[in-house]
Amino acid sequence: MLVCDCIGLDFDEIKEAVKQHGDDIEAIQDATDAGTICGCCTETECDKVDITLQEAIEKALEELE
């Protein structure tokens, strides 16, 4: 699942960052560079990705419980 089109970031990479940083979106962005170019994936809707960054973080947290 594509999370950030600008850098080709997928859900598995976000899940790994969530393992280290929990739901701290700023730390996840620092670790992955998600949302640092166009910012679309940080919006509530983005037609460039399969899942937004916030949705990916929430899904990762659920899967890691």
Q: List the pLDDT tens digit at each of the 65 positions of the chain.
A: 999 999 999 999 999 999 999 999 999 999 999 999 999 999 999 999 999 999 999 999 999 99
pLDDT for the residue numbered 14: 98
Q: Are 3 and 51 in contact (CB under 8 A)?
A: yes
Q: Are 57 and 25 in contact (CB under 8 A)?
A: yes
Helices (H), 1-65: 11-21, 25-32, 53-64
